[in-house]
Chains A and B, each alone.
Chain A
Amino acid sequence: MRRFLTTKGIIGLTLLTIIALIAILGPLILSPDAATAMDMTARRSPPSWKHPLGTDQLGRDLLFRVILGARTSLEIAVSAVLMSIVLGLPLGLISGYFGGRTDNILMRLVDTLLAFPALLLALTISAVLGPNVQNTIIAIGIAFTPFLARIIRGEALRVAQMPYVEAARASGTTDVMIMVRHVLPNILPAVIVQGTISLAFAILAEAGLSFLGLGTQPPAASWGLMIQASRDQLDIAPWTALVPGLAVALTVLALNMVGDVLRDILDPRSK
């Protein structure tokens, strides 16, 4: 734990805790209507006492929107990454552990999917399923799966050659047991590191999908949607872009910092 106490680790973790608290507590304190209530007499008003972060083009309070949007954005990112781990883990584990022909076939599949840019894949899936929060999660989750599978497979390949795995095999432990008992715990650090960094990418992906109209649907608040709406008014109401932009930037920055520190601690080879 001591190694977490680098400047990077402290800043990253503090930021992330604050953001997580906002995302969790925000909806408990504020009514969901706070994010959608409009005041047509105060459209695009700059930050003031009444609206500390200003309002958007429909006179909605940006402070409330960015707080309630945290929940939406993080929920999508976390669910999507969890989904890609759930899909990618067995794929990578089996491929790496067994190697040989199984590996060859599975990795050809993964390579094929990797050839499709993630955003293009997510865009297409979104178009197939229709736009809403749940489908955004599925689209990003599927699009990220091949990356996760690739990394997990590499780790599993390494761990499968370790002496303790050989020993377990020799003692007649079943493959499934070995995978669960010995391989999984040893690749978990890499999964956690990659998961943290993927969270950052998922937040950006949600923003990209919302920018093209395929992510979260208005009038709900999500950071991506807020940035999307701000693009037409950046020059006359810069706060409408800065508020969600800063929220995304800080979160992504915090996730990357924590990811870096985690990598240093859990995965010493990459140092």
Chain B
Amino acid sequence: MTYILNRLLSVILTLFLITIVTFGVTNILPGDVAMMIMGTQSNPEALEGLRQSLGLNDPLIVQYGRWIGGMLTGDWGTSLIFKQPIAELLLQKAAASAVIVVMSMTIALALAVPLGVWAAVHRDKWQDTTSSTTALLGVSLPDFFWGIVMILVFARWLGWFPSSGFVDPAEDFLGTLRHAFLPSLALGLGLMAHLTRMTRSTMTGILNQEFIRVARAKGLSERTVIWRYALANAIGPVITIAGLQIGYLFGSIIVMEFLFSYTGMGWLTYQALLNRDLPLIQATVFVVAAVVMLTNLAVDLLYVAIDPRIRLG
């Protein structure tokens, strides 16, 4: 219980630090909100007036306080480029990205678990080498390279999936899945390598354990032993590792959504950075960091639930 309490406290502290880093870093970005608003009509006096009225001349600490106050009271401001309330934008785009996150994780696990099990069962044989090489290939090329290949093969040549875009799930859920598939596949290939390796090493450990020997001695078929008994025990740690990959995934999503014109969080973050839309950058970066951190927390707690031996951070 103390562990969980401690963990929660440190989460609040980390969230606070995340806001400071987000605010600090975005404030040293070149470019200036007032200028982005006025664009090419900027002239020194008008800019100064606008800066004054936006409170950009206040001390940073005051601006930070105002920003945090707004975030806490649900007033996330308005995007400078899109002229839309940021909270609404984020909600809409986060939902789009969630589809990709879930789908790419599913694809990665669906590929990595069998490959990893196969390698563990045939340890140090050709199957092992094949499995690890296959997994490595996925991560040996930048994921946007896979993305381009996917567009060519599955959209252009085979015509099985749309090449780009996003469809509102409320309108056409199947359409959303079809649009999300290719970027998810490309991301899944990148995620696969690490998961395969984890599955292999976890499975190797379990296959050497007493209860497996007992199960084998009982005369259970090899298939049952591996897929029912061993895998059931290995899947927990593997899913944990998958959860920890979420940060890496969010980085890759930026490039992938840009390539596929899939308008989710990654796309929004990139647009915000590209256009120096400061309020939007701050909100997206904060949300991404917070989600990554909370996922890691959930994984940790899950781990404690699975493995009661861990009591200390």
Contacts and interface: CB of A to CB of B under 8 A. Distances in A.
Interface of A: 7-8, 108-109, 111-120, 123-125, 127-128, 130, 200, 204, 207-208, 211-212, 224, 227, 231, 234-235, 241, 245, 248-250, 252-253, 256-257, 260, 270
Interface in B271-312: 273, 285, 288-290, 292-293, 296
Contact of B142 (A117, A128, A208): A208
Interface stretch (B23-31, B66-74, B171-179): B23-31
Closest 3 CB pairs of A and B: A119-B251, A117-B251, A112-B17
Given A127-B29, A128-B30, A211-B255, A115 B142 contact: no
Contacts of B142: 204, 207-208, 211, 224, 227, 248
Contacts of B156: 235
Contacts of A257: 136
B13 A116 contact: no
B293 A115 contact: yes
B239 interface: no
B224 interface: no
A234 B152 contact: yes
Given A7-B129, A235-B152, A120 B14 contact: no
Given A109-B17, A249-B137, A117 B288 contact: yes
B247 A113 contact: no
Contacts of B201: 270
Contacts of A256: 136, 139-140, 193
A227 B142 CA distance: 9
Contacts of B144: 207-208, 211, 227, 231
Most A CB contacts (10 A, CB to CB) among B248, B251, B285, B288 go to: B251
Interface in B178-206: 193, 201
Given A119-B255, A127-B29, A253 B273 contact: no
Given A116-B285, A248-B140, A123 B17 contact: no
Contact of A108 (B14, B137, B149, B255): B14
Contact of B14 (A112, A211, A241, A253): A112
Secondary structure call for the B interface: helix
A101 to B, nearest CB: 13
B269 A120 contact: yes
Given A115-B293, A116-B21, A127 B148 contact: no
Majority-rule SS of A interface residues: helix
Nearest to B147: A231
Nearest to A204: B142
Given A127-B273, A212-B258, A115 B290 contact: yes
Interface in B1-54: 10, 13-14, 17-18, 21, 25-26, 28-30
The winner among A111, A125, A130, A257 for most chain B CB atoms within 10 A is A111
B250 interface: yes
B141 interface: yes
A118 B248 CA distance: 7
Given A124-B285, A235-B152, A111 B14 contact: yes
Contacts of B251: 117-120, 208
21 contacts: A108-B17, A112-B14, A114-B296, A115-B247, A115-B293, A117-B248, A119-B255, A120-B250, A123-B270, A124-B273, A127-B30, A208-B144, A208-B251, A208-B255, A211-B255, A212-B255, A224-B142, A234-B152, A249-B140, A253-B140, A260-B132
A118 B247 CA distance: 8
B148 A115 contact: no
B184 to A, nearest CB: 17
Given A112-B14, A118-B247, 9 more contacts: A108-B14, A111-B14, A112-B18, A116-B247, A117-B254, A117-B288, A124-B273, A127-B30, A253-B140
A227 B145 contact: yes
Contact of A253 (B10, B136, B288, B296): B136
B19 to A, nearest CB: 10
Contact of A115 (B139, B273, B292): B292
A82 B264 CA distance: 34
Contacts of A112: 14, 17-18, 21, 289
Contacts of B273: 123-124, 127
Contact of A113 (B21, B252, B269): B21
Contacts of B290: 115
Nearest to A116: B289
A212 B270 contact: yes
A114 B21 contact: no
A253 B17 contact: no
A256 to B, nearest CB: 5
Interface string B88-118: 0000000000000000000000000000000
Nearest to B11: A111
Contacts of A118: 247-248, 251
Q: Which of B145, B152, B193 has the most chain A CB atoms closer than 10 A to its own CB?
A: B145
Contacts of B255: 119, 208, 211-212
B285 A108 contact: no
Nearest to A124: B25
Contacts of B193: 256
